[in-house]
C-alpha cells in the first residue's frame, strides 16, 4: 500500500497518479486517509502531553509525602488516576484512527510510474517490441481445441464431467507437453540464477493482503471457508510472502526465486471465443519468477526479467510482442507492467502469456518487507514478479502455430524434454 509519507509529501501528485489509473473518488480517498492521520497525530500529541504530566506529577507525589503534605499527595494521586483513565480513551481513539487509515489505504491502488502511458483500456497499451518467427501454416489452420481433439491431447468434456468448465484433462502427449514446458521453464530459470521454491498452493488471509490480492481480488479467489484459506491465483502470493515481516541485509539483494504451481481463478472472464479451449481457465499451470530488490536496482532487475521472458519465447520459436500497459489497464498493485503476447494464426488474435511487473514499495509496505543498507538504515524493498511462463496459451500457440499435415511439430528447445520432434 502507499505510505503515509508519499501522500503527505505531495498530495496532488498522488491524486494525479490515482486518476491516471482511473481510480474513482481519488481525492476523497486521499482526504479520508489524511483525516484519519490527523486524528492519529493529534491524539498522539495529547498522549505525549499526558505522559509528560504523569512523569512530573509522579515525581511530586514522593516529595509531598516526605514533606508530610498527605492531602496534596492524595490529590496528586487522584489526578494521576484521572490522566491514566483519559489515556485509555486516547489510546483507543488512536488505535481506531490507525485502523481506519490502514483500511482505507488498502483500497487505494499503487501509483503508476511516469513511463506508464495514459489510457483507459487495453486498446491504449503501447506496443514496444515485436519479434519471433513467421511460421508457414497449412491452408485453413485449426484452432487448438480442434487439434487437441484430433490428436487426443486434451479432453475438455471430461474436465467438465470431473469438475466443471475451465478444468481440462490433459492426456498422453498433451500431459507430456505440459510436463516438458514446466521442466524447460524451470531449467531456464535456474540457469538465470533463480532459486526454485515449492510453496503451498493455499495461503492465509495475511498473505492475500500482503501481495494485494485482498481486498481487491477477493471475488476472484477460491476460498476454503472452514479453514479461512485461499487457493493461490499465482505463485507470486506464497513466494513473495516468504519475506513478510523480514528485515534483509542489503548484501542479500537481489533475491531471485522461481516456482511452479497450479493456479486457481474463479472468474474465468467473458463468454465466446475469448474463453474457448485453453484461452481462459479456472485452473492452470504456471512458472513464476519473483525478485526482492533495492529501489536503486529494481529497474535493472525489471529489464533482466523482461529479457528472460523474451528469451523463452524466442527459444520456443513463437511470434510475440511486448506491450507497456496503460494507466487504465495496469493492475491494482503494479507501478509498471509489460505484457507478453503470442500470436495465434489459427484464431487470428494475440494471446497474453506473461505479465512482468515492478511494484515499487507498494507490496513491501503491506508485507513489512525491508532491508538494512550499508549505513544500517532500514528501508522498504522493491518487489517484482512475472510469469515465465503461463502454460495454457503457450500450449495453444504451440499447437496452432506448429501444426503440419503430419502432426504438431515440436520446437527444438522442447525436443529433449518431449523425446520427439513431432506429435502425431
Q: Which residues are annotated as a binding site for L-serine?
A: 234, 265, 288, 385
With both helix axes pointing from N to C terminus, report the angle between 26-66 and 70-105 in degrees, rounded to the nearest 10. 160
> What span, in angstroms and rounded, lies between the C-alpha atoms of 147 and 403?
8
Distance between CA 206 and CA 242 in Å, rounded? 12
Task: Provide CB contacts within 8 A for 49, sequence distance 6+.
Answer: none
What is the b/e burial string over 1-38, where b = at least 16 CB atoms within 10 angstroms of the residue's CB?
bbebebbeeeeeebbebbebbbbeebeebbebbbebbe
- 159 vs 156, 184, 187, 224, CA distance in Å? 5, 26, 29, 21
Residue with cell 490433459: 170
Residue ranges for the known binding site are: 234, 265-267, 288, 352-355, 385
**Helix locations, 67-132, DSSP H:** 70-105
| SS3 call for 205 | helix
Strand runs labelled E in 32-172: 126-131, 154-155, 169-170
Q: CA torsion sign, 317 to 319 to 322 to 328?
A: negative
User: What is the Cα–Cα distance from 312 to 323, expressed in whole angstroms?
Assistant: 16
- Residue 354 backbone zone (phi > 0: left; psi -120 to 50: alpha; other: beta): beta
Cα–Cα distance, 231 to 326 (Å, whole number): 29
What does the alpha-carbon distance between residue 306 and residue 114 come to, in Å, rounded to a whole number? 19
> Strand, helix or coil at 40?
helix
Coil/strand/helix, residue 247: strand
Q: Which residues are annotated as a binding site for ATP?
A: 265-267, 352-355
Distance of CA 244 to the CA centre of its chain: 14
The H or E element that residue 263 is part of is strand 255-264
Amino acid at each position: 500500500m502507499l505510505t503515509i509519507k508519499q501522500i503527505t509529501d505531495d498530495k496532488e501528485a498522488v491524486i494525479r497518479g490515482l486518476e491516471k489509473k482511473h481510480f474513482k473518488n481519488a481525492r476523497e480517498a486521499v482526504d479520508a486517509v489524511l483525516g484519519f492521520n490527523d486524528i492519529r497525530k493529534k491524539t498522539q500529541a495529547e498522549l505525549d502531553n499526558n505522559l509528560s504530566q504523569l512523569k512530573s506529577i509522579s515525581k511530586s507525589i514522593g516529595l509531598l509525602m516526605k514533606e508530610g503534605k498527605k492531602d496534596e499527595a492524595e490529590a496528586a494521586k487522584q489526578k494521576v488516576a484521572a490522566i491514566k483513565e483519559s489515556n485509555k480513551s486516547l489510546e483507543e481513539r488512536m488505535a481506531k484512527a490507525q485502523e481506519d487509515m490502514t483500511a482505507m489505504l488498502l483500497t487505494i491502488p499503487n501509483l503508476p510510474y511516469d513511463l506508464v502511458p495514459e489510457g483507459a483500456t487495453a486498446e491504449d497499451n503501447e506496443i514496444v517490441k515485436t519479434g519471433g518467427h513467421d511460421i508457414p501454416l497449412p491452408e485453413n489452420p485449426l484452432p487448438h481445441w480442434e487439434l487437441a481433439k484430433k490428436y487426443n491431447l486434451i479432453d475438455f468434456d471430461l474436465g467438465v464431467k470431473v469438475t466443471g468448465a475451465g478444468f481440462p484433462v490433459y492426456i498422453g502427449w498433451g500431459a507430456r507437453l505440459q510436463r516438458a514446458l514446466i521442466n524447460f521453464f524451470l531449467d531456464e530459470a535456474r540457469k538465470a540464477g533463480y532459486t526454485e521454491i515449492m510453496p503451498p498452493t493455499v495461503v492465509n488471509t495475511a498473505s492475500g493482503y500482503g501481495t494485494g490480492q485482498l481486498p481487491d481480488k477477493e471475488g476472484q479467489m477460491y476460498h476454503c471457508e472452514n479453514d479461512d484459506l485461499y487457493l493461490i491465483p499465482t505463485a507470486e502470493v506464497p513466494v513473495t510472502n516468504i519475506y513478510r515481516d523480514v528485515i534483509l541485509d542489503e548484501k542479500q539483494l537481489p533475491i531471485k526465486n522461481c516456482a511452479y504451481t497450479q493456479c486457481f481463478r474463479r472468474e474465468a472472464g467473458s463468454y465466446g471465443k475469448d474463453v474457448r479451449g485453453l484461452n481462459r481457465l479456472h485452473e492452470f499451470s504456471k512458472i513464476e519468477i519473483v525478485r526482492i530488490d533495492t529501489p536503486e536496482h529494481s529497474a535493472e532487475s525489471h529489464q533482466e526479467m523482461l529479457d528472460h521472458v523474451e528469451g523463452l519465447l524466442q527459444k520456443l520459436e513463437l511470434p510475440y510482442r511486448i506491450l507497456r500497459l496503460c494507466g487504465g489497464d495496469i493492475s491494482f498493485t503494479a507501478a509498471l507492467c509489460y505484457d507478453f503476447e503470442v500470436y495465434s494464426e489459427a484464431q487470428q488474435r494475440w494471446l497474453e502469456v506473461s505479465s512482468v511487473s515492478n511494484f515499487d514499495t507498494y507490496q513491501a509496505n503491506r508485507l513489512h518487507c525491508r532491508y538494512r543498507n550499508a549505513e544500517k538504515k532500514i528501508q522498504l524493498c522493491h518487489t517484482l514478479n512475472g510469469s515465465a511462463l503461463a502454460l495454457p496459451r503457450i500450449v495453444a500457440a504451440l499447437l496452432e502455430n506448429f501444426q503440419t499435415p503430419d502432426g504438431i511439430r515440436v520446437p527444438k528447445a522442447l525436443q529433449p524434454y518431449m523425446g520427439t520432434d513431432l506429435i502425431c
